[in-house]
Amino acid sequence: MPSSIVSNGEAAVKSSPAAVSGRVSSVYAEVQSSRIDQNLPLPSVFRSSFTIVDGPPSSAAGNPDEIAKLFPNLFGQPSAKLVPSKSNKAQSDKKLKIGVVLSGGQAPGGHNVISGIFDYLQDHVKGSVLYGFKGGPAGIMKCNYVELTAEYIYPYRNQGGFDMICSGRDKFETTEQFKQAEETAKKLDLDGIVVIGGDDSNTNACLLAENFRSKNLKTRVIGCPKTIDGDLKCKEVPISFGFDTACRIYAEMIGNVMIDARSTGKYYHFVRLMGRAASHITLECALQTHPNITIIGEEVSAQKQTLKSVTDYIVDVVCKRAELGFNYGVILIPEGLIDFIPEVQQLIAELNEILAHEIVDDEGLWKKKLTSQSLELFELLPRAIQEQLMLERDPHGNVQVAKIETEKMLIQMVETELEKRKRESAYNRQFKGQSHFFGYEGRCGLPTNFDSTYCYALGYGAGALLQSGKTGLISSVGNLAAPVEEWTVGGTSLTSLMDVERRHGKFKPVIKKAMVELDGTPFKKFASLRDEWAFNNRYISPGPIQFVGPASNAINHTLLLELGAGA
Amino acid sequence: MPSSIVSNGEAAVKSSPAAVSGRVSSVYAEVQSSRIDQNLPLPSVFRSSFTIVDGPPSSAAGNPDEIAKLFPNLFGQPSAKLVPSKSNKAQSDKKLKIGVVLSGGQAPGGHNVISGIFDYLQDHVKGSVLYGFKGGPAGIMKCNYVELTAEYIYPYRNQGGFDMICSGRDKFETTEQFKQAEETAKKLDLDGIVVIGGDDSNTNACLLAENFRSKNLKTRVIGCPKTIDGDLKCKEVPISFGFDTACRIYAEMIGNVMIDARSTGKYYHFVRLMGRAASHITLECALQTHPNITIIGEEVSAQKQTLKSVTDYIVDVVCKRAELGFNYGVILIPEGLIDFIPEVQQLIAELNEILAHEIVDDEGLWKKKLTSQSLELFELLPRAIQEQLMLERDPHGNVQVAKIETEKMLIQMVETELEKRKRESAYNRQFKGQSHFFGYEGRCGLPTNFDSTYCYALGYGAGALLQSGKTGLISSVGNLAAPVEEWTVGGTSLTSLMDVERRHGKFKPVIKKAMVELDGTPFKKFASLRDEWAFNNRYISPGPIQFVGPASNAINHTLLLELGAGA
C-alpha cells in the first residue's frame, strides 16, 4: 500500500504533495483498504496459453439489412471465444497502447474493469501503455487523458465509484466529433480503446469501431457492459456489472425498513428504486426481500393499467391486510413507473403542448384544452403533483417526469382512496405512508465479490480481445453460475445486439434495452409468490454486503434464475 | 436452528402451524441466519462467582431536593458494581419471575438485551421465568404478555428490530395506569421488570420502581439505555445501544453518496439524518465520513444562528469550492435543525397562534399578524415550505415541524442565494442539489458486533441486578474501549440522572437529554478538521458493516473519543 494511503482508524490525514489522483491523498476506512489488496480469481482459460476461436457469422437483433448498411465494415462479425491452446499463436508480442473510457452513470466495479485491462497488459504484453480518458467520451474528443500506472490504479482496486478517471454523458454524433476521436487515436498511436458503458455507450463504441475501420485506422474498440439498471444483457452477456452490488445495497435498506415496519406496526413504506427504463432492480429487490407489494413497470404496461388501477391494487391489499390485523407494509415502486402508464404519457404529452402554447390562467380555463380522459386523470392527481407537473419544466419547457416523486404521489392517492373506502365502511384503520427513494446510495458502493471478480474478468478479457486485434465486440464473460475458474471469456459482435429506430427520418442504430420479460423465470417466480408475500409477511432482511464469511459469495437472484441455477 | 427457519437461498417457504412468533415462520437470509448462532463474549466478571458492591450515596443531575421529594423511596441510592468474589453471597437461589418491555422507537440490539436477561436467568437461576410484555408499556397495563422460552427467543438472537414483542410509546402517568401495573405485577407474581428505553422510558421505569416500593411490592424495576439518537448517556452509561449500528448504516450510505458526488462532479447532496433533539448522529457520521459541510444543531443554537446565516455558511463554502474547481459536495443536516433556530421557533409559535384564531385569507392579510421578524423569515422561505407550514397541522392545529423537509428547504434557500451571488458575479457555476433522508433504514439493521455484545452484557447485567434485589437502577456497562473481558458491569441510580422540569405548575422528573457538548472531544475534533474537509475532499466511504474480518470490531468515534481512546 502506498504510504500516502492511511488506513482508517482516524489516523492523521496524510497527503502526498505529488498527488495525481483524488484518492492518493485519501484516508481510507478499514474495509476500503482491506479490499484494495484482495486477490481476485481469474477464469482458468487465463492460467495458461489460450487462443481465440471465432463462432459463426452474426446477424442483428432486428432489421439486419439496415444494420448492415450502417455498419458495412463490422456487420456479421462472429463472436470470439477464448480457449486453451498449446501456444499463444493468436496473440502478437507487440506492445500496445490502449485507452479506456467510462461512459454514463456510475456502477460499482468500473475501477476493476480498468485494473483488469491494466493487469492483462502487464501479464501478457509487458511494456504496453494504458491511458485513461477523463470525464467520459469528451475526454477522447478533447484528448484529455492520464497515463494509468500501477501506482495510479492501486488505490482504486475493488473500490466503488468512477472517480479514477470520472465519467461523462457525451456521445459521438457529429462528423466533427468522430474527427476528434480519430485525431486522438492518431496522436496517442492507439491500438485500441475500451468503452465501459450502457446500451447507448456501447452503440457509440460500435460507431467508433466502424468509423476507425472505415478510415483504416489501426485503433480497435471493445465495449464493456455496465449499468446498475440491469437492462443491457443478452445470451452472451448474461448481466451488466453494478446490478449485483446496487441491488444488494438497496435490499439491505429495504430489509431494514421491513423489520422496522413489522416492529412499529403502523407505517406503509413506499420505496422508489432506481431504474427508469426497466424494472429489473425492483424485481431483484423483491426477490431478495419479499415485500408486500411490488409494482413492475413492464407488467403495468402490458396490462395497460391506469394510475387508478395501480392505486386500487395497493388499496385492496392494504384493506385485506387490515382485516388480517396488519396495519403496515412495504411497497416497492420502480422509478420509471409513470413512464409505463399510457394515460400518464398522454397527459404529459398534452401538458407539454399546452404549456408551450397557452397561457395557464389561475381560473383553470386552460384545462379545457385537455382531452376528457387526461382532464379526469389530472383532477385525480394530488395537488402537489399537479403543481409539479405545471411548474417543474426542463429548458425545453417540457414536464420533468424524472422529478415526479412517484412514491409520494401514490401515498396521497392511496390515502384518498382509503378515505373513500372508510366512508363506505370497507376500511377502518389509520393509514400512514412513509416515502423513500433509494438511488444514489447504490451506484458507488464497494463492489460485491461478484461484481469485483466479474468486472476484473471483463477487463482482463477486453485486453485479450484487443491484443488479438478484435474490434466492435463487447467483452463477454459467461457461465457465471459456475465457479470463477469455469467462467467463459470472449467477445460478442456489438452489431448482433442492434436494431434500428427511426429518428428525424433516419435510421439510428440502438441496442434495445433488455426489459423485464413477463414470461422469464425471475418474473414468474415473483408472480407465483407475491400473494403469499402480500398477506403472510415473508420479509427477508438480507443485511449488509459481506466480503468474507457467510453470504460473501452470493449472487443476485435474477442472474441465477435466468441461468436456470436459482432454487 | 429450529427446522422452521429456512436459511436463505430461496428455498421453499416453510411455515410452522404452531407459529407463536412472527419470525418462526420466516425465511432468513444467509447473513441473518449466520448471526443467530454467533456466540457473544461476556465481561470476565461473569466467568466465576461475583458479588455486588454499592458505591457512595447518589444525588441528582439537578434540583436534588425536588427529586428527593418525587422519589422518597429511591433518592440517594448508590450505584452498584459487580466484582468477582469467592461465592455468590449476594445472590439468592430463589427462582425469579421477570418481565421485560421494549419502550419507544426501535434501536438495533434490543433483542440481545432480552436474550441477555434470558441467558442470565438460565445460567444463574435455573427454572426462572421471563415474560415479554407486548407492544410497550401498554402491555404491562393490559397484562398482555408472552412467556419467552428458548425456542421463542432463538430466531431473534443478534437480529435487528423490536418485533419479538414489539414496542409502544405509552407512559405511566395516571393513578389508574400505575394501578394497572401493580395488578399485572401481582397477577404474574413478578420479582422484577426490565424497561428497555430512552430518557422518557427510563424516567418512567424509575416512577414505576418508586411506586412499587411505596406499595411494598416485591417487584423491582431496572432500566436499559436504548436510543439510536445517542442522547441518553452519562459517566456510568457511556452510550445508549443502537447508536453504533445506526450511525454505521448511515455512514455507509453517506460514503457511497460521497463517492458518487466525486465521480459525477455536479451534485450537492443534502443528507438529513435522524436525531431531532440532539445532533450526535450527524456528528458521528461526519467523523466517520468527512463531509464538506456539517450542521450541528447545538452549535447553531449556541451561536444563535438564523436560517439565513446557516444558508450563507453553506453558500460561502459552495462558492469557495467552485473557485477550487469543485462543483459538488456532501452536506449533513440533523433532523432537528430548525428546532435549534430561535427565530424559526418564534415563527412557528406565531403561526400556531394565528392558525388557531384567524382566518387565513388568500390575499395574505393574515400575515400582518406576524411580527416583522417572523414575517421577514416567512417571506424568505421557499413557497413549498410556506405551504407545508400552513397546511400540515397535527390534530391540535399545530404546525408539524417534524414533517418539514429541512434538506429540501435548504437546497431551495441555497439556490436562491446562489442566484443572487451570480447576479453579483460572485458565483458562475450551475448548482444542483439532491436531497436524502436517512432514518428508518438505520433503526432496525442487524446490530454490529459492538451493539450485539454491548446489549447482551446490558441484559445479562440487568438479570444480575434483579437477582440481587436492586431496583431503580439503569443497567450500566463500562470500560467499553477495552476488550469485552475487561468491561465493567453494574447499575446506576436512575434518580441520579434526573432533574425536574416545571409543567402545568408541577415539577416533573426528567432525565435530561445528553446534547452534543461543544467543548467535548468529538465536537472539538470535528471543528478542528471541518475546514480541511470543506475544501480538500477528505471523503471516507466506510462501506457496509462487516461481521467477520476487517473492521468487524470497530467502535464508533464518539464513544472512543469520549472515553479518551480515539486517535
Q: Is A274 annotated as a binding residue?
A: yes
pLDDT at A21: 45
Coil, helix or strand at residue B513: coil
Of the residues A119, A229, A244, A451, which is catalytic?
A: A229
Across the range A344-355, mean pLDDT stands at 88
Query: Chain A neighbours among B 240-299 (CB < 8 Å)?
Result: 249, 252-253, 255-257, 259-260, 262-265, 267, 269, 287-288, 290
Encoded amino acid at A296, one letter: I
> What single string gives the DSSP state of each residue in A305-348?
--HHHHHHHHHHHHHHHHHHT---EEEEEETTGGGG-HHHHHHH
Give pLDDT tens digits for A109-119: 999 999 999 99
Pair B409, B385: CB distance under 8 Å? yes
Minimal Cβ distance to A263: which of B166, B532, B546: B166
Is residue A504 very low, low, confident or very high in pLDDT (cuts 50, 70, 90)?
A: confident
**DSSP-derived secondary structure for B83-148:** EE-SS-TT------EEEEEEESS--TTHHHHHHHHHHHHHHHSTT-EEEEETTTHHHHHTT-EEE-
Question: CA-to-CA distance for A226 and A123, rounded, in angstroms?
Answer: 24
**Predicted local distance difference test score (pLDDT) of residue A15:** 34
Question: Which pairing describes strands B498-503 and B506-511: parallel, antiparallel, or unpaired?
Answer: antiparallel
User: pLDDT tier at A394 (50, 70, 90 boundaries)?
Assistant: confident
One fold for B29-242+445-511 and B250-442+518-549: yes
Q: Which of B267, B443, B544 sits opposite A260 (nearest CB)?
A: B443
B161–A259: do the CB atoms touch at under 8 Å? yes
Nearest to A477 by CA among A458, A493, A496: A458
DSSP class per residue in A95-122:
--EEEEEEESS--TTHHHHHHHHHHHHH
Given a contact cutoff of 8 angstroms between Cβ atoms, the answer to whether A210 and A71 are in contact is: yes
What is the C-alpha separation between B297 and B304, in angstroms, rounded? 10
Determine the pLDDT at residue B93: 82
ipTM above 0.90, yes or no: yes
- Tell me whether residues B263 and A542 touch, CB distance under 8 A: no
Residue B516 vs residues A372, B160, B229, B472, B503: alpha-carbon distances, Å: 57, 26, 11, 27, 25
* Distance (Å, whole) CA B298 – CA B522: 13
Tell me the C-alpha to C-alpha distance, in Å, between residue B18 and each of A30, B21, B22, B157. 45, 9, 11, 20
The length of chain B in residues reads 567
Q: Are strands A473-478 and A220-225 parallel, antiparallel or unpaired?
A: parallel
pLDDT tens profile B249-306: 999 999 999 999 999 999 999 999 998 899 999 999 999 999 999 999 999 999 999 9
* pLDDT value at residue B371: 95
Report the C-alpha gap between A402 and A362 in whole angstroms: 26
Q: Residue B171: what are its φ and ψ, rounded to 5°? A: -130, 155
Cβ–Cβ gap A532/B13 under 8 Å? yes
A549: nearest CB among B260, B265, B549: B549
Query: pLDDT over 70 for what percent of chain B?
Result: 94
What is the H or E stretch that residue A81 is in?
strand A80-84
At A498, list the grid cell: 442492434
Q: Which fold, A250-442+518-549?
A: Rossmann fold (3.40.50)
Question: Residue A538 and residue B26: Cβ atoms within 8 Å?
Answer: yes
For B284-386, list the strands marked E by DSSP.
Answer: 293-294, 329-334
| pLDDT tens, position by position, A298-343 | 999 999 999 999 999 999 999 999 999 999 999 999 998 988 998 9
Q: Which of A207-221, A372-386, A434-448 has the lowest mean pLDDT?
A: A372-386
> What pLDDT is recorded for position A14?
32
pTM score above 0.90: yes
Residue B266 assigned ligand-binding role: yes
Q: What per-residue confidence (pLDDT) applies to A18?
A: 32
According to DSSP, the β-strands at A329-334 and A268-273 are: parallel
Scanning B533-562 for CB atoms below 8 A from A yields: 536-551, 554, 557
Q: Which residues pair with B81 in a beta bridge?
A: B53, B490
Contact: A257, B440; criterion CB under 8 Å: yes
Q: Measuring CA to CA, how many Å separate A131 from each of A144, A165, A190, A204, A463? A: 10, 10, 9, 19, 13
Chain B residues whose CB is inside 8 A of the A265 CB are 166
Report the DSSP beta bridge partners of residue B111. Answer: none
The 3-state secondary structure of A195-227, one letter per residue: EEECHHHHHHHHHHHHHHHHCCCCCEEEEEEEC
pLDDT tens profile B32-91? 999 999 999 999 999 999 999 999 999 999 999 999 999 999 999 999 999 999 875 556
Out of A260, A445, A540, name the one closest to residue B106 (CB).
Answer: A260
Extents of the domains making up chain A: 29-242+445-511, 250-442+518-549
Cβ atoms of A219 and A192 closer than 8 Å = yes
The answer to whether B222 and B128 have CB atoms below 8 angstroms apart is: no
A240 pLDDT higher than 80: yes
pLDDT bin (cut points 50, 70, 90) of residue B13 is very low
Mean pLDDT taken over chain B: 92
Stretch 106-125 of chain A: residues touching chain B, C-beta under 8 Å = 106
Binary contact (B263, A167; C-beta < 8 A)? yes
Please report the sign of the dihedral spanned by the C-alpha atoms of residue A477, residue A482, residue A483, residue A486: negative
End-to-end CA distance of chain A: 41
A26, pLDDT greater than 80: no
Q: Which candidate from B10, B445, B557 shows the least CB-CB separation from A557?
A: B10
Structural contact between residues A29 and B543, judged by C-beta atoms closer than 8 angstroms:
yes
The reported pLDDT for the residue numbered A376 is 92
What is the C-alpha to C-alpha distance for residues B42 and A448, in angstroms, rounded to an integer? 33
Q: What is the per-residue pLDDT across B174-202, written as a single tens digit (0 to 9) for each?
A: 999 999 999 999 999 999 999 999 999 99
Give yes or no: A519 in active site: no
A227 is in an annotated binding site: yes
Task: Taking residues A480-503, report their average pLDDT.
Answer: 97
Q: Tell whether A405 is in a known binding site.
A: no
Task: Please state whether B504 falls in left (phi above 0), alpha (psi between -120 and 50) or beta.
Answer: left
Residues 19-38 of chain B with CB under 8 A from chain A are 22, 25-35
Residue B235 has pLDDT above 60, yes or no: yes
Q: B30 and A550 in contact by Cβ < 8 A?
A: yes
pLDDT at position A59 is 97
Q: Nearest C-alpha of chain A: how many angstroms from B334?
A: 18
**What average pLDDT does this structure show over A81-102?**
87
Interchain CB distance below 8 Å, A256 and B441: yes
Q: What pLDDT score does A353 carry?
A: 87
Give the dihedral sign, CA A518/A522/A525/A530. negative
- pLDDT digit string, tens, across residues B128-141: 999 999 999 999 99
Instruction: Enumerate residues 484 to 523 of chain A having a beta carbon within 8 A of any beta carbon in chain B.
Output: none
Question: C-alpha A419: how far from its chain's center?
Answer: 39
pLDDT tens digit string along A355-379? 887 777 777 888 888 999 999 999 9
Q: Is B443 annotated as a binding residue?
A: yes
Predicted local distance difference test score (pLDDT) of residue B22: 57
For residue A250, the model assigns a pLDDT of 98
Return d(Cα B406, Cα A274) in angstroms, integer.
23
CATH fold group of domain A29-242+445-511: Rossmann fold (3.40.50)
**Residue B147 annotated as lining a ligand binding site:** no
* Residues A19, A239: Cα–Cα separation, whole Å: 36
